[in-house]
Amino acid sequence: MTSFRYIGTRRRAKEHPRFVSGRGRYVADVALPGMKHVALVASPHAAGRIVSVATGAALAAPGVVYVLTGEEFCANTDSLLIGVDAPKVTRWALARDVVRYAGEWVAAVVADTRALAEDAAELVEVEYDPLPHVIDPEAALQPDAPLVHPAHGSNVLYHRRFVWGPVEEAFAKAQHTLAFRAAWGRSATVPIETFGVAAQWNPGTELLDVWASIQMPKYPDQTARALRLPGNAVRVHYDVDVGGSYGVKRGIKHTVLVGYLAKRLGVPVRLIEDRLENMRGGDMQGPDRLFDMQVAFDGDGTIRALRIRAVDDVGAYAGRSPFQLGKPVTAICGPYRIPAVEYEPTSVMTNKTPQEAVRGFGQSPTNFAIERAIDRVARHLGMDRIDVRKQNFIGPAEFPYTIPSGSTYDSGDYHTVLGKALAAVDYPALVRACDAARRAGRLAGIGISTCLEPSGGNSAFEVLMNPKNENTTWMDSCLVRIDLAGSITGVINNSSSGQGHESLVATVLGEVLERDPATIRVVRADSLTALPSNSPVGSRMAIMLGGAAAGAAKEIRETLVAIAAHNFECSREDVEYRDGNVSLKGAPEKKLTWDQLVEIAHRKFHRLPPGKEPGLQAKFVWEVPTGGGIPTAEGRIQIYPCYAFEAHIVYVEIDPDTGKPSLGRYVCGHDCGVMINPDIVHGMTYGGIAHGIGAALYEKFSYTRDGQLASGTFMDYLIPGAMEVPVIAIVDHCTPSPLTTFGQKGSGEAGYLGAPAAIASAINDALEPLGTAIDTLPMTHLAIWQAIAAVRQRRPEAEGRALGSFPKHS
Amino acid sequence: MSETLHTVAIEVNGKPCSGAVPPRLSLVDWLREELRLTGTHIGCEHGICGACSILLDGEPVRSCLMYTVQAHGHRVTTVEGLARPDGSLSVLQDSFCETHGLQCGYCTSGMLIAAQALLAANPDPTVEQIRDAIGGNLCRCTGYQQIVQAVQLAARRTREAASP
């Protein structure tokens, strides 16, 4: 393998000093002179007609500047974009005429302070005429269901049945089949910072400046479009630190609202969601999915075919959320050699808070369903779960490997990574410990999952799911400048939410230019000076931004070589580049130093090669390594170039009297190719696992039958803390990607792609001796307790010590 | 509804500060909006996430759950007050950088405050004690692993520096 100077070494992150000293700059820290503050009036009904909105009392309250209603707002702005083909499913930040979920914003109050705005918001009187609503996604599919958007004519936003390979035949010929239902609960990444946005309109320049806690592709363009402004009238400042996102910080509706108010009122306006606004009306809830799974397999554990029917509840409106059913197409059979797959996704609307992109973009729920299938095959055949996985893994010699849905996996060595994880956890000892716990009367289990993380893709699920939406371009860029003093500055084109992009770019520039990354500064353009970017989505930045930074740095290096060769009056082949200096091969004393070369570039035109641009800068813009193609008629498509792999092993014990699970040893074998900054990769993987623990055991946006969100605070939406997340050991392995600059793959969603499946596996392993199973996430204490209680009711002998005495392996 | 203002005198990061505040102004809003000490963050405003943690007379408290008037006559330390007198990073802050104990930085101030209070009371904490001390602070980025390592490292460095 290539050896690197800085890539893969432990290095401090460039971002950390400002954060540990309290000197970050988040959107709530942006204070503009004369700034006013927004509070929101939300619908208490899941569905209803707005009869009247009385704003007089609120307008008369102290400090109040304005009260905006949906009537005015919708008349003066355009509906937000929708990705699938459903033009009647319109969406504005404020409801007009009807509300479609409890928590939907109806009016915005602007006042001198947030507190005064909140006081006045309580004085806005809205009269509603409640309408029938639908909360259950399967009920929403029935012909007599209330329609969330009557103009659309149905609650179905998207439905298609893909058949890739001889599925019917495989099911007919297989020695065994099984079917089951699995459910993924509605949860989200729930960053500790809520979404916020501040905007200022300058009538002199006719420019709207925006500062936001944003992680969203095409955000400036969509803001301008909805505000009916030219694209160059919106300037988004990307030098705002984002307090976590992991997919969900897509406050486009908030931004159009605040942008409109700033322009309308002629003062800077800021909206920082409070926690309830965020949880209930922030439109950031994640996939909410039912899977009906069928598997065809032989007696030796070989899987012949899969049928996956997925129903995903996107809530009351749709932005990009239906596309979260599209990404799984690209890894629909997981790391397994499954020759035939049928996939039938349905995206359905209900009267719930809208869904937004969440870490993994629908892949983690699908991985969970596939892994439940593998465990069930093992149980059905009486085989070891690890053996069934090994039996079906794509082998290391089979890459590049094209799966039935048309995606080609770049590289991997699944057997080795799983083997390393098993060795690290000392699997035989873990099994003995599990058996001993069971003999002692405790409920104990081991969880296994082996999952993929597709990364660095384009956005072609858009054209896959809507042929009118022919979007295949998904570029990223970097600009590199060397100033007269010889300092290196990288310019990136998006805000970051903890992924360490400044460290990433500095490391890559240092690597290519052979200069110390600690001396390299990385800054952010604003949206009017930026090169094109699609923001940090889909685990793409190590690949796309890393690749762009390397591309620009290589151009700089080439320029320095050309300058030296010109000055030495020799050809480029006769000189060599080292540490930023260029010398004549075989005569190292004949050398132009970095400083001398920089000075020639900036100040000595007479010594520049003819035709060379003065100054020292380079930009690099590129499309994803596998390009952008249109799907075949059967829906076969390549979207993601790189596939990382993770193998999770986790031990759990359950208190049989309370249903409380306690996680013990946790090992994650991880292969994401070459790691540019290992500490950053490990950190994101740990965090992804913690988030996966939340999705598996604790976190759920629960709705009452009336459509009220019952978990809008951190007292009922439970986020795992340091006492719930166990010690995690990560075991690295490196199978370089042949498609990327340094062999790197994406890793921003690592951990989360396999943790929920592993924990579900562990809980079910612990429950197996009782003859019961749970296939619904989250597996809350209550759900586990109910499963145990149901067994006890059926089989009173399962009481007490009889729960134990089920050794795990013969 | 004009609000009566109350005069408060609070020592913040070693400096005396005073102001006239409405009775319902939360301490975190006063620190952030009036003193512009924006290193203390707001996460939930109902006392669960710990992002707004500060030291009040050396004890970690939620500044979102306190009114400014309640802090009258007390000592407050925010993340901005953790650095050494010369402005360089403290051992604890530096240890967070060393172990990569943060990502987006939003919960970090609260984590530092919780760890500072722990180490002041217990210079040699076990992993379990560290996890317990930061158990009231939520982080969505790190899964807590490298935060625990940071606190362990800071404790070790501090002990080593103290021993001859």
pLDDT, tens only, A189-219: 999 999 999 999 999 999 999 999 999 999 9
Q: Which of B121, B132, B106, B105 is nearest to B155 (CA)?
A: B121
Query: Which chain A residues touch B39 with a CB distance below 8 Å?
Result: 21-24
As a whole-number percent, the residues of chain A with pLDDT over 90 amount to: 97
Q: Which of B42, B96, B140 comes nearest A246 by C-beta?
A: B140
The predicted structure's pLDDT at residue B3: 80
B107, closest residue in chain A (CA to CA):
A192
A67-116 pLDDT, tens digit per residue, is 999 999 999 999 999 999 999 999 999 999 999 999 999 999 999 999 99
Query: What is the mean predicted confidence (pLDDT) over A318-332?
Result: 95
Residue A565: is its pLDDT beyond 90? yes
What HEC string does A49-80 produce?
EEEEEECHHHHCCCCEEEEEEHHHHHHHCCCC
- Beta strands at A36-42 and A269-272: parallel, antiparallel or unpaired: parallel
Q: What is the mean pLDDT of chain A?
A: 96
Most A CBs within 10 Å, among B28, B103, B113, to test the A interface: B103
- Give CA torsion, residues A495, A499, A502, A508, to 10 deg: -130
The pLDDT-based confidence of A801 (bands split at 50, 70, 90) is very low
The predicted structure's pLDDT at residue A807: 55
- The 10 Å CB-count burial string (b at 16+, else e) for A16-51 is bbebbbbbbebbbbbebeebbbbbbbbbbbbbbebe
A152 contacts A89 by C-beta, under 8 angstroms? yes
Query: Which chain B residues touch A541 with a CB distance below 8 Å?
Result: none
As a whole-number percent, the residues of chain B with pLDDT over 70 amount to: 98
Cβ separation of B43 and A722 shorter than 8 Å? no
Which distant-in-sequence residues (6+ apart) come within 8 Å of A451 by Cβ? A334, A335, A367, A370, A371, A645, A646, A648, A753, A754, A757
Which distant-in-sequence residues (6+ apart) come within 8 Å of A573 by Cβ? none
Rounded to 5 degrees, φ, ψ at B53 are -60, 140
The interface pTM score, or ipTM, of the predicted complex is 0.98
Query: What is the mean predicted confidence (pLDDT) over A256-277?
Result: 98
The pLDDT-based confidence of A315 (bands split at 50, 70, 90) is very high
Cβ separation of A21 and B83 shorter than 8 Å? yes
A520-544 pLDDT, tens digit per residue, is 999 999 999 999 999 999 999 999 9
A632-653 pLDDT, tens digit per residue, is 999 999 999 999 999 999 999 9
Cβ separation of A20 and B44 shorter than 8 Å? no
Query: What is the mean predicted confidence (pLDDT) over B124-150?
Result: 98
The predicted structure's pLDDT at residue B2: 62
B1 shares contact with chain A (CB less than 8 Å): yes
The predicted structure's pLDDT at residue A319: 82
Query: Which chain B residues touch A31 with a CB distance below 8 Å?
Result: 33, 36
The token duo for B144 is: 């807590």
The predicted structure's pLDDT at residue A713: 97
Query: Which chain A residues touch B45 with a CB distance below 8 Å?
Result: 274-275
Q: Which of A639, A339, A349 is nearest to A465 (CA)?
A: A639
Surface-to-core class of residue A576, CB atoms within 10 Å of its CB (0-12 exposed, 13-18 middle, 19+ buried) = middle
Class at the top of the CATH hierarchy for domain B91-162: mainly alpha
As a whole-number percent, the residues of chain A with pLDDT over 70 amount to: 98
B64 shares contact with chain A (CB less than 8 Å): no
All domains of chain A in start order, with CATH:
31-131+195-272 (3.90.1170.50), 356-457+638-803 (3.30.365.10), 475-622 (3.30.365.10)
B93 contacts B112 by C-beta, under 8 angstroms? yes
A698-743 pLDDT, tens digit per residue, is 999 999 999 999 999 999 999 999 999 999 999 999 999 999 999 9
Residue A155: is its pLDDT beyond 80? yes
What HEC string does A211-262 produce?
EECCCCCCHHHHHHHHCCCCHHHEEEECCCECCCCCCCCCCHHHHHHHHHHH
A430-466 pLDDT, tens digit per residue, is 999 999 999 999 999 999 999 999 999 999 999 999 9
B6-51 pLDDT, tens digit per residue, is 999 999 999 999 999 999 999 999 999 999 999 999 999 999 999 9
Residues 89-118 of B with CB under 8 A from A: 89, 93-94, 96-100, 102-109, 112
Peptide bond preceding A807: is omega within 30 degrees of 0, i.e. cis?
Answer: no
The predicted structure's pLDDT at residue A2: 66
pTM for the model stands at: 0.97
Cβ separation of A679 and B100 shorter than 8 Å? yes
The token duo for A69 is: 């209603």
B135, closest residue in chain A (CA to CA):
A722
Residue that is written with structure tokens 């009922």 in the block: A716
Q: Where do the CATH 1.10.150.120 domains begin and end in chain B? A: 91-162
Query: Which chain B residues touch A119 with a CB distance below 8 Å?
Result: 1
Q: Where do the CATH 3.10.20.30 domains begin and end in chain B? A: 6-81
Query: What is the mean predicted confidence (pLDDT) over A21-48?
Result: 98
CA separation (Å) from A795 to A61, A767, A789, A802?
Answer: 64, 14, 10, 11
Query: Which chain B residues touch A15 with a CB distance below 8 Å?
Result: 105
Catalogue the E-assigned strands of A416-538: 443-455, 476-482, 488-492, 521-524
Q: How far, in Å, CA of A147 to CA of A92, rounded?
A: 18
Question: What CATH number should be reported for the domain whose range is B6-81?
Answer: 3.10.20.30
Fill in the DSSP letter of residue B34.
Answer: I
Residues 2-31 of B with CB under 8 A from A: 2, 24-25, 29
Cβ separation of B43 and A275 shorter than 8 Å? yes
B56 shares contact with chain A (CB less than 8 Å): no
A17, closest residue in chain B (CA to CA):
B97
Most B CBs within 10 Å, among A10, A12, A16, A119, to test the B interface: A16
A498, closest residue in chain B (CA to CA):
B104
